[in-house]
Structure 1
Amino acid sequence: MGRVGDLLSIENPLQFNLDNYVGGTFRGKPIFDLDGVEDQIDSGRSQKVTANGKITYTFLDEGDGLIGIYNNKNYGFTAGEGLAAFSAAQEAEARDSITLWDDLVAPEFVETEGRGADIQFANSTDPAQAYAYYPSEKGGQKYLGDVFVADPAVNWTNAWLGYGGYGATTLVHELGHALGLSHPGNYNYDPDLPLSYANYAEYAQDSEQYTIMSYWSAQETGARIVNWDLLQFNNPQTPLLHDIYVIQEKYGADPTTRTGDTTYGFNSTADREVYDFDANPFPYLSIYDAGGEDTLDFSGFFGGTVLNLNDGEFSSGGSAIPSAAEINANALELYYETGEVDYIGGVDQATIDSISSRYISNNARDISIDTGYTGVNAVNYENISIAYGTMIENAVGSEYRDIIIANELDNTLTGNGGADVFVFQDGGTDTITDFLAGEDLIDLSALAGEDTAIDFGAGFLEADFDGDGAVDLTLVFDNGAELTAADVYMG
């Protein structure tokens, strides 16, 4: 863990995840446990959930009287031009954002018409980007719990919707406020303050690697997440690891979310397009699932992946990087959709090749530091996480070199192509469908000790880690692979 600096060490780190170093420091900031994280992100304010478990929302329009209290300076509103209704595209994106939160919590979100809903949406000429008021369980002013977005005519980024769009991320963030989540530290937008992670983060995990409520890039805590479709840093697409933990502590987890057998990634059956990596080739998200036998499928990713099935951990990967012509076309399309963009074409293939080569090299270096294995050329680093308490049984790797880390369940693991590494940290019975002896590797170093004994033959491996004569881990090889000692790493 050479880049960690002042972190307390742990044995056999398989992932650079600050949550695993509670009690240490990172960049001089304390690493909090989940209780400490909750104290930082939970404002203490909650929506008033109806007796039948509902939270309502609505989209204000001109017919609802957008002036009145919503444009009264005595109540803190300063939009002299008044407020404006969401466009149809904004409404559709807001509904998708609500669905992402609805999947997480026990209360159900219900859309209503007209004024008076718990969460009301409108554009405004007041905020620099957007703002929302904390809710109140006791009632109070009409605007409590409402979300106001800078009119896209004033701030074009709020028309940048879709996966990785800043306008889409803004809606998910502001809904977090409307449900009672705060920024993780004592900061807010102020052009006169030197806002930065170094100056204002109060604890180490305050970044968009862990929470969409943060102001600070995921890069501040070591992640490296790019939207290669536009050659820009990506923006979070869902509530993230710590958001899910805190919001479920506030409202309770939804026990009905995807309780059947669900595949996330390629060949997705998750019924949320954000989890379909054919539609969302550069995902930046966290997965919550309430049950069933589930699969994380990275089969279409490019360059190799780290696929970690353990809850509360990160995985790394992304699809093939587009050509210069494709990136320029995407930028031009964004310009026509929003009226403004940082660049309109012009990036050449040599520039893309240089940037992507540097990023992939850095990702491979950091994955090697984390795991001890070289040659995993992932296009993104630590961009996908599994929510605490979510159990995913099965993994499908890419056609390149992958590191697949099993969990305590009975896993079915498919490496696909490349010289893959299968890492085991728990006992049980796991299946590898396509192990290639002499090319792939079984890593038992987290479990093996002086008393460990292993036995293997055609299609199986059995390991007794403590020398008591009982089998602790059984691996079944569907293709009948016959291992040699060279195929197993014991540490």
Structure 2
Amino acid sequence: MPNIFETSDAASGTSTSYVLRETGKIAQGTQNAVFTTVQAHLAPGDDSDWFAIDLKAGQTYTFAAVGTFDGRGRLEDPYLKLLDQSGSLIGEDDDAGPGAYSAITFTAQTSGRYFLSVSAGEAGLTGQYGLSAVEGTKAVYDGDMAAGALLRPGVSWGTPGQPATVTYGFRDTLNNLDPEYAAEVPETFEQVTAAQMVAVEAILATYSEIANIQFERVNPDGYTDDASMLFSNYFSTTDGAGAYAYFPGSDASDRWEGDVWLNTNSVSKEELPNGSYSHFAVMHEIGHAVGLHHPGDYNASPDIDITYEAFAQYREDTQQYSVMSYFDESNADGSLGFGAFPDTLMLHDILALQQLYGANTSTRSGDTTYGFNSTEGGVYDFSQAMPHALTLWDAGGVDTIDLSGAGKVDQFVSLIDGTYSNVGGGLGNMAIAYSAVIENAIGGRGDDVVLGNAASNTLHGKAGDDTLVGGAGHDKLFGGSGNDRLDGGSSDDVLNGGAGDDSLIGGSGNDRLVGGSGNDTYTGGSGSDMFCIYNRGDAETITDFQSGFDTIAIRSEFAAFDNLTILASGADSVIKFGDNSISLLGVDAGIISQNDLAFV
């Protein structure tokens, strides 16, 4: 999502205070730098917003401007200019695309400051837009920009942002069609099968789960010619399409708007499981029927070889981000490979649909577990089958991602919305939708990395040498067995290393650090922290103990203050009792008092 927000109107000239700066690389292992993305609003009148950027001689860059959603409207036709340090025009673009959006690719001849200017491509247009910059020849889009690329002006079943209800059915005949439509429908029309009906209705339900669009079936017991969205089969080996659909418009049943045609040369009549092309094709075409475009300006044709290199207009135009893309996930990152098609609508699809119809805030609003020990069925129950690729939309409750049954594979789990995880041996194959909050995560038997979010998280590493990182909430981290690294982050956290030689870092806040069995290392961070020594025979190290501020808690059955041995060891001190030792780095043994210890 955007890094810079235009909180005050950007100047229309070189005096602008807004600067796009490098934030890192596009992806791990790549050399191309990506810059901060901007979210700004073009005001009525002859407004133009300028943004400064520093470029390097000999480097090629791509800049893009895309209309994005907010309550004040989307800038549907941005006009993008590139200017030199004096404000003189170097290049400009109106409609390079996708759609009426803009992009410029430029190789800098000299190093120094340049400027990007965004204005309206047509007089009188206003609204919100996103602006991005990247090294290379293919643009990068943040989530808002990518959602904007999937949407076009006036293409929906209602007012953008408002709920809609659409009738659907399974076509019975080709009778009573609008003459224009009748002239183009396939002569090989067939009714859809019972298996296809089941798949269509399940996929329609997933659309309704994430957005406020409801589908009402006409003639639930059979076929009909009287619905806004009608599903049909046809057969062709020459049209270049696995299926096709029409965008929303008139709800008259004799017209084409909203209709979906499945080519049975590609789409099975009987087998449409999750992850199959047949299931994916139905999901993709329903996307068109409710208002989603392809991310780029391309469409299936028997005469054109549509490749990512030639037709993708931004890096994220892959099926990792959208089921509306023609391109598999490996195109943007060669390490990715789902081995199948996405199981669900993906990250950018969900955001675009929620902008189009509003978010469904009742979906899975209770306490939900995804993965193993799941409270949900289907693709959300990993005990049935590990997912190929999915995105989680969850409207509320205290929720958990449970990967405990994934086997001995190393997994990466991010609870941050809008980010991807590596689950069950896959790479980038699970995302959490924007604005969805998942509180808890459970790792498996591998060496897992688990990242928390701003909520109060409970994170379990389980077996393996795990890394657990809390966020801004009051987190509880449990390493389990293995040599783990636990980092509480900000706020008041509880860290429990479990068995193994663990590293516990409290971070800011008043934290409670419990090493468990093994020789553990504690770093409290800022705040008044408690270091808990609850196991016999361990050699513990506390790196930042502050006498009079932090506390060391020892089991009363192990020792009392009077039978502790406190020794100096160079610049450090060591507390000994029984077979235990606690090394306090950088602490003078003479300042340790009974007030620094608690016996529990």
Q: Corresponding residue for 1:360?
A: none
| Aligned pair partner of 1:179 in 263, 266, 290 | 290
Q: Which amino acid letter does the alignment assign opposite residue 400 of structure 2?
A: T
| 1:184-195 alignment runs, 5 A limit | 184-195=295-306
Alignment CA distance shift 1:259-1:137 (3 Å): farther
Name the CA distance, whole Å, in 2 between partners of 1:413 and 1:123: 48
Is the 1:459–1:482 contact (alpha carbons within 8 Å) kept by the matching residues of 2? no
Distance 1:226 1:173 in 2: 19
| Structure 2 CA distance for aligned equivalents of residues 314 and 415 of structure 1 | 18
Provide the residue aligned with 1:130 in structure 2.
243
Shift of 1:112: 1.8
Partner of 1:69: 177
CA distance in 2, matches of 1:476, 1:169: 52
- Native 8 Å contact 2:389 2:430 kept in 1: yes
Distance 1:434 1:130, change over 3 A: same
Deviations 1:84-126 (A, max 9, x none): 1111111111111111111011132222212222221110125
1:263 alignment partner in structure 2: 369
Letter in 2 for 1:413: L
Residue in structure 2 matching 1:142, options 255, 279, 285? 255
Q: Which amino acid aligns with 1:172?
A: M
Counterpart Cα distance in 1 of 2:405 and 2:421: 15
Change (3 A) 1:224 1:116: farther
For residue 168 of structure 1, the aligned residue among 234, 259, 279 is: 279
TM-score using structure 1 length:
0.71
Does residue 235 of structure 1 match 2:279?
no
- The one-letter amino acid paired with 2:313 is E
2:92 corresponds to: none
Structure 1 residues 240-269: Cα deviation after superposition (integer angstroms, max 9, x where no partner): 000000000000000110111001111111
Structure-2 residue corresponding to 1:440: 484
Q: Supply the AA of the counterpart residue of 1:275.
A: Y
- Opposite residue 112 of structure 1, the aligned amino acid is V
CA 1:280–1:226: 2 relative to 1, 3 Å: farther
C-alpha separation between the residues in 1 aligned to 2:532 and 2:166? 48
Q: Which has the higher contact order (CA 8 A, sep 6+)?
A: 1
Asked if structure 1 preserves the Cα contact closer than 8 Å seen for 2:163 and 2:212, the reply is no
Q: Would the alpha carbon gap of residues 38 and 139 (structure 1) be closer, same or farther in structure 2, given more than 3 Å must change? A: farther
Give CA deviations for 1:38-74 in whole Å, capped at 9, x if unaligned.
221013311248x99522221123xxx235538x676
User: Quick one: distance in 1 between partners of 2:391 and 2:191?
Assistant: 31
Q: Give the Å deviation of 1:26.
A: 6.7
Q: Does 1:5 align with 2:31?
A: yes
| Cα RMSD after superposing both structures | 3.7
Counterpart among 67, 74, 84 of residue 190 in structure 2: 84
Consecutive unaligned residues in structure 2, runs of 5 or more:
1-26, 37-129, 492-503, 517-521, 544-600
Question: Match for residue 499 of structure 2?
Answer: none
Could you say which structure has the larger radius of gyration? 2
Number of aligned positions between the proteins: 395
| Contact 2:448 2:465 survives alignment (8 Å) | yes
Q: Do the aligned partners of residues 246 and 475 (structure 1) sit closer, same or farther apart at CA in structure 2, a change above 3 Å counting?
A: farther
Q: Paired residue for 1:115? A: 225
Aligned to 1:99, what secondary structure does the other structure show? helix
% identical aligned pairs: 30
2:418 equivalent to 1:312? yes
1:24 shift after superposition: 4.0
SS at match of 2:441: strand
Structure 2 letter corresponding to 1:146:
D
Q: Which has the higher helix share?
A: 1
Aligned equivalents of 1:54 and 1:439: distance in 2? 54
TM-score, reference length from structure 2? 0.59
Separation of aligned partners in 1, 2:235 and 2:388: 31
2-structure distance, mates of 1:458, 1:67: 74
